[in-house]
Structure 1
Amino acid sequence: MSPILQLRDVSVTYSGAEPAVSGVSLNLDEGETLGLAGESGCGKTTVAMSVLRLLPRTARVDGEVLLDGEDVRGMRFGRLRAVRWASASVVFQGAMHALNPVRTIGHQIAEPMKLHGAADQDVEARVAELLEQVELPADRAGAYPHELSGGQKQRVMIAMALACRPRLIIADEPTTALDVVVQAQILALLNRLVAERGIALVMISHDLSVLSASCSRLAVMYRGELVEHGPTERVMSAPQHEHSRALADAFPTVGDPEFRLTGGDSGGEPLLAARGLSVEFRRRGGGAVRAVRDVDLEVGANEIVALVGQSGSGKTTLARTALGLQRPTGGSVSFAGAPLPTSGSGLRDYRRKVQLVLQDPTGALNPRHTVYEAVAEGLRIHGITDDEPGRVTAALEAAELRPAEDYLGRLPQELSGGQRQRVVIAGALVLEPEVLVADEPVASLDATVRGEILSLLLRLRVERGLATLVITHDLGLAWNIADRVAVMFRGEIVEQGPVDQVLLDPRHDYTRTLLAAVPATTRRAA
């Protein structure tokens, strides 16, 4: 039996430029799982999208892309349309953007089947069957994407990919930005579908720990080339290429001292403190949701505290309340021993001292504003007029965008993901705050860039005495840089203390659940 997918010396070039992909050859058989790893720009998504000719028209594909022995490059559009969804399908990255916000999920799951001529009565039953397969209730067919959690939306994407019973599924970063528990559920679901239905699965990710926990083979790409390929255990335990080694070492093992980047210093006097803090949201039609329940939390001077928990646990609501962006319904927030101001001018002065670093740098930056304007915005809001150019330059240099002159006139789309995150951090630093509140500061960043941003936060603590509250679902991040960790579950802090104590000897079942969901990897020998 021939492989489901064969790539023979595949190269991809855009508009006559340097090849984005050079000479890639891979095979995938029925029931096999292949992890395609590499950082942004390495060509992994380009390779995957070439399988169904989903690349832009400017792309030229050389070599052979064989799907069940037939070269997709030579297919007429009618044949290609028949192959898409039915022979091979894609689970696209970012379910929020891939799903239509004004169509129910049942309608969207049905769409591929209708395109392939399925009768209406068959479609309705199949939608219910697919929802069951991806472990969603059948009555969710009438829901809209905004009514679903991130993990549920990702399950809908998988249901769509399965709709026409394809033999090959390509999953592009299917767990990016999902918390560890939901990530583990999605990976288990994909592996179960492979085992039960004999589907061939290509999973694309920059996170080698995710791929190593779910794929039998790994292929590592670097600058458009396939630099390593083999059984997962061999690639993880004895990588041959230096880039494979860098990827394998980039994601930490909780409990391994090698990945602990800080000595776990104890904080000074409490700077930011919540006491008995509660936040309730009123429901339409009556009743209330308690998003935060009687929380006590401190961030001391010169301290990094990680607030960890799943999506919906109340972490971001707690942070917004600490910043004065959300009013508490009980308890209090204080800064340097003084209650949080309630007046507009008082809050503005307070927010100069306590700055927020948003999760999504792309969404946080105005696409029409240059880097200079983005960083200077805070100065202008606070009426700081003395030496604006000098302050902006110093903030960019502090965020390791050097020389600053090279970045001042650039727009966000001209920057990499890591550079955009540094611009957001510079926008906070320009006001010389005493506390940073960093909401998922490395979610979706590549392995090496992740390490660079974490090192930057540690350096800012050393050089500026900057205290940081890091909000994250990533326990590895907490192990990397935090002095203390607080675990949040259903609006409550269920456990907190020094990182070594909480992550190595957890007392609460929920903390153990989070730790158990972290992908287990086979590390290379030292």
Structure 2
Amino acid sequence: MTSPLLELRDLGVSYRTGGQNVPAVKGVSLTLAAGETLGIAGESGSGKSTVAMSVLRLLPRSAKITGEILLAGEDIGGMRWGRLRAVRWSAASIVFQGAMHALNPVRKVGEQIAEPIRLHGDAETGAAGVRARVEDLLRQVDLPVGKASAYPHELSGGQKQRVMIAMALACRPDLIIADEPTTALDVIVQAQVLDLLGDLVAERDIGLMLITHDLSVLASACRRIAVMYQGEIVEEGPSATVMGTPRHAHTKALAAAFPTVGDPRSRFAPATATPLPPEPDRAAEPSALLSARDLRVVFRDRTGTKVSAVDGVGLDVFENEIVALVGQSGSGKTTLARTLLGLQRPTSGTVSYQGEAMPTGGAGLRAYRRRVQLVLQDPTSALNPRHTVYEAVAEGPRIHRLGGVDGDEHAIVVAALEAAELRPAETYLSRLPHELSGGQRQRVVIAGALALDPSVLVADEPVASLDASVRGEILGLLLRLRRELGLAGLVITHDLGLAWNIADRVAVMYRGKLVEVGTVEQVLLEPRHEYTKSLLAALPMGTARAAEPGV
């Protein structure tokens, strides 16, 4: 019987912190054969990325590794530095999470793909041979050869991820480890990246270890799935079995965190939340709270050519409703949101709030921005690392002069943190962002918006970077704010499951235009536009539209 390409035997990893050894991975045993795909699922802190980094000894010096790591029968742990350096890239390589951070922003992508080739001598010698290899790699990942001369900021998220895959393939490895390779990508690009990885496994007979917190992605791309929880493998088996009939409570929670479009049972209903007030009667309030009419935003690219980022968009957001604005990267969603927020001046068309045109400057625009607040995608980047939670939440009220020396500011901050479900608020006031979890940081960002008593929250991918369980908590919070405070929400997302989860209406954006707007049932269950159908077709297994009863 052929020996496994990769074998982990009783792998353990601990970190030395504060004079103590803190275990991160406990007794993990896994195998991966050539031509096979293995998925590892788990939330942040479960140990899945530590397992991935252990394979090529990429962990910091504070980490202690026990057990055995065998790559093609060779013990990684016993390798000298020279042999380990030769194994990296050529025998096994890694596609790191977050291509936007993994690529050097001041070097052309072709140079970055060529670097491991030059270092490992895995191509014909000379500049011409390296250049030919780079061009071949770009073709393998379905990128134009001309992109070799582009800088990372000139590429879309999906294109940057393809560059990372090209780098991983540069020295023809037998094993590729992909750590969250589709995080924050829209469903179409996600499907393309997963298909690309699957094709490479089949064509080149390589092994693929795919790591993510999204169980549905693994079910679509991997033959086997291992689920990690608190450093241990708690469940392992064929993808269909793990996704369809999970045994462990943590696996069940991961599977339930990503709803099935079309299944009413997977509409959001937090099990531990207090009962929500009844749905508002929107028929009694027909006038829109926030409106866009024939909105156009035109930019010029580097060649001077006009590009329509937003092209004749008309959209209404009513009080007490959540509208999901969906579409793939580059469709114009963020530009539309910036225009609605008054951060981008429209080329033509109007934005109105409560029936009055959005002011173009001065005190009027300041007052408008207080009522229409933004919740940013990445809470880590949104918060100043040197400001306490109190300072972060108090900044808005200070700018708008809502608090004073008599303690009103403190009361506003505490009330906002309580509304964002950071309780008791007093225990968070002096903390810095690095002392908070990802979900807590996102709640602080939301509290900063709530401190200004807004009527509309514009949330840009509010859960894209969060774990499955935290995702549910934040979505539950947005629903509660809508129902208890009457807040309207415009949620920008590439995740159709999220739209099915919490939205009242869905607006689909494609090449700057709104191609379809309707209730969540109309758009996601009875799509009319071909683009909407393509978005639904790209959903990973487990989140695709549910079958009709009896089918």
TM-score, normalised to structure 2's length? 0.93
Alpha-carbon distance in structure 1 between the residues aligned to 2:386 and 2:112: 33
Give the partner amino acid of 2:331: S
- Would you say 1:142 and 2:149 are equivalent positions? yes
Query: Which residue of the partner structure matches residue 228 of structure 2?
Result: 221
Q: Secondary structure at the match of 1:18?
A: strand
Matched, 1:465 2:510: no
1:437 positional shift: 0.5
Q: Name whichever of 481-490 and 343-352 sits farther off.
A: 343-352
Decide which of 252, 256, 264 is 1:249's aligned counterpart.
256
| Mapped contact 2:259–2:543 kept (Cα < 8 A) | no
Of 310, 320, 331, which residue of structure 2 is paired with 1:292? Answer: 310
Does the aligned pair in 2 maintain the 1:299–1:467 contact within 8 Å?
A: yes
- 2:549 maps to none
Query: Is the Cα contact below 8 Å between 2:358 and 2:365 reproduced in 1?
Result: yes
Give yes or no for the alignment of 1:312 onto 2:330.
Answer: yes
Greater Cα offset, 158-167 or 266-275: 266-275
- Structure 2: distance between partners of 1:430 and 1:42: 34
How far apart, CA to CA, are the structure 2 residues paired with 1:184 and 1:49? Answer: 25
Equivalences, count? 525
Instruction: Please name the residue that 2:273 is paired with.
Output: none
Deviation at 1:53, TM superposition (A): 0.2
For the 8 Å contact 1:237–1:522, the answer to whether it is kept is no
What corresponds to 1:390 in structure 2? 411
Deviation at 1:251, TM superposition (A): 0.3
Q: Which residue of 2 aligns with 1:100?
A: 104
Letter in 1 for 2:160: K
Which residue, 76, 80, 87 being the options, matches 1:76? 80
**1:408-419 pair list within 5 angstroms:** 408-419=429-440
Alpha carbons 1:279, 1:293 under 8 Å: kept:
yes
Q: Which amino acid aligns with 1:255?
A: G
Aligned 1:233-248 pairs, distance under 5 A: 233-248=240-255
Alignment of 1:77-226 (within 5 A): 77-117=81-121, 118=123, 119-120=125-126, 121-226=128-233
8 Å Cα contact 1:264-1:482 kept in structure 2: no
Query: Residue 238 of structure 1: CA displacement?
Result: 1.5
- 2-structure distance, mates of 1:109, 1:259: 43
Q: Is the 8 A contact 2:371 2:453 kept in 1?
A: yes
1:308-358 residue CA offsets vs partner (Å, 9 max, x unmatched): 111111111111111111111111000001110112211111111110001
> Residue in 2 aligned with 1:351?
369
1:368 aligns with 2:375: no
Is residue 38 of structure 1 aligned with residue 39 of structure 2?
no
Moved more, 446-455 or 278-287: 278-287
Distance 1:514 1:93 in 2: 23
2:53 alignment partner, SS class: helix
Query: Which residue of 2 is the match for residue 11 of structure 1?
Result: 12
Contact kept? 1:105, 1:156, Cα under 8 Å: yes
Asked if the contact 2:90–2:173 (Cα under 8 Å) also holds between the matched residues in 1, the reply is yes
SS of 1:324's equivalent? coil
Query: Identity of counterpart residues, as a percentage?
Result: 71
Aligned residues of 1:359 and 1:438 also touching (Cα < 8 A): yes
Moved more, 399-408 or 364-373: 399-408
TM-score, with normalisation over the residues of structure 1? 0.98
1:6-26: CA deviation from partner (whole Å, max 9, x where unpaired): 100000000033211100000
Whole-angstrom distance in 2 between the partners of 1:91 and 1:122: 24
Name the amino acid aligned to 1:356: L
CA–CA separation in structure 2 for the residues paired with 1:380 and 1:264? 34
Select which of 26, 33, 45 maps to 1:29.
33
What secondary structure, in the 3-state scheme, does the structure 1 residue paired with 2:289 have?
Answer: strand
Task: Provide the rounded CA distance (Å) in 2 between the counterparts of 1:353 and 1:521.
Answer: 38
Correspondences of 1:252-331 after superposition (within 5 Å): 252-261=259-268, 267=282, 268=285, 269-331=287-349
Deviation per CA, 1:264-303, whole angstroms, max 9, x where unpaired? 8674331000011111112344331111111110000111
Aligned residue for 2:221, secondary structure, equals coil
**Counterpart-to-counterpart distance in 2, 1:58 and 1:264:** 53
Partners of 1:31 and 1:411 in 2: CA distance? 46
* Deviation by residue 1:390-431 (Cα, 9 ceiling, x = unmatched): 110111111111111221111111111111110000000011
Contact 1:264 1:483 in 2 (8 A): no
Residue 455 of structure 2 is matched in structure 1 by 434
Moved more, 27-36 or 386-395: 386-395
Question: Structure 1: how far apart are the matches of 2:301 and 2:330?
Answer: 16
Residue 49 (structure 1) aligned with residue 53 (structure 2): yes
1:116 Cα deviation after fit: 0.9
Kept in 1: contact 2:403–2:412 (CA 8 A): no
> How much is the aligned-residue C-alpha RMSD, in angstroms?
1.5
Letter in 1 for 2:485: R
Q: Distance in 1 between matches of 2:36 and 2:421?
A: 43
Please state whether the residue corresponding to 2:45 is helix, strand or coil.
coil
CA contact (8 A) 2:37 2:210 kept: yes
Which residue of structure 2 lines up, in the alignment, with residue 508 of structure 1?
A: 529
- Mapped to 2, the partners of 1:481 and 1:522 lie a distance apart of 15
- Residue 275 of structure 2 is matched in structure 1 by none
Give, as a single letter, the amino acid of the residue that structure 1 aligns with 2:540.
Answer: P
336-345 or 218-227, larger mean C-alpha shift: 336-345
Counterpart Cα distance in 2 of 1:286 and 1:78: 51
**Contact 1:33–1:216 (8 Å) recurs in 2:** yes
Distance in 1 separating the partners of 2:348 and 2:336? 12
Structure 1: gaps of 5 or more residues: none
Contact 1:372 1:408 in 2 (8 A): yes
C-alpha contact (below 8 Å) 1:264/1:484 kept by paired residues: no
Equivalent residue letter for 2:14: T
| Alpha-carbon separation, structure 2, partners of 1:370 and 1:463 | 28
Given that 2:291 and 2:351 are in contact with CA atoms closer than 8 Å, whether structure 1 keeps it comes out as yes
User: Cα distance 1:522–1:502, how it changes in 2: closer, same or farther (>3 A)?
Assistant: closer
Which segment drifts farther, 514-523 or 237-246? 514-523
SS at match of 1:96: helix
* Alpha carbons 2:499, 2:506 under 8 Å: kept: yes
Over 3 Å counting, the alpha-carbon distance change for 1:287 and 1:110 in structure 2 is closer
- Cα distance in 1 for residues equivalent to 2:535 and 2:279: 21
SS of the equivalent of 1:20 reads strand
Which residue is 2:539 aligned to?
518
How far apart, in 2, do the equivalents of 1:7 and 1:405 lie? Answer: 46
Q: Which amino acid aligns with 2:59?
A: L
Out of 54, 64, 72, the residue aligned to residue 68 of structure 2 is 64
Mapped partners of 1:482, 1:307: distance in 2: 10
Q: Is the 8 A contact 1:265 1:483 kept in 2?
A: no
> Which amino acid counterpart does residue 26 of structure 2 have in structure 1?
S
Structure 2 vs 1, CA of residues 470 and 522 (structure 1 numbering), >3 Å: closer, same or farther? closer
1:9–1:22 CA contact under 8 A, matched in 2: yes
How far apart, CA to CA, are the structure 1 residues paired with 2:36 and 2:30?
Answer: 12
Q: Distance in 2 between matches of 1:50 and 1:368?
A: 32
